[in-house]
Amino acid sequence: MPVIFANPSGAPELACDECGCRWFDRMTNCCYECGAPVPEAELAAFRAALAEFARRGGRPGDRTDPLAPGAS
């Protein structure tokens, strides 16, 4: 089951507890490495963590954060 970490910049990052990697495929909502599915509840929790981080004024500037302001 995937879990949520904070990366060095403090931004939340969704990680796979099956293989330990921090990649997941947003197209399929599965772990990029081992293919373990990411439960909707985990995705919801991750989105909530991202929203909370943004509310605190975080500037992730990081590939894992689709909400990063000015990301292009």
Q: Which of the stretches 5-13, 23-31, 41-49, 50-58 binds Zn ion when contact is defined by CB under 5 A?
A: 23-31
Regarding 18 and contact with Zn ion (CB under 5 A), the answer is: yes
Q: How many residues bind Zn ion (CB under 5 A)?
A: 7
| Residues 2, 24: Cα–Cα separation, whole Å | 9
| Structure tokens given for 1 | 């089951």
Q: Largest Cα–Cα distance of the chain, in whole Å?
A: 33
Regarding 3 and contact with Zn ion (CB under 5 A), the answer is: no
Regarding 37 and contact with Zn ion (CB under 5 A), the answer is: no
User: Which residue in this structure is represented by tokens 């004024």?
Assistant: 57
Regarding 14 and contact with Zn ion (CB under 5 A), the answer is: no
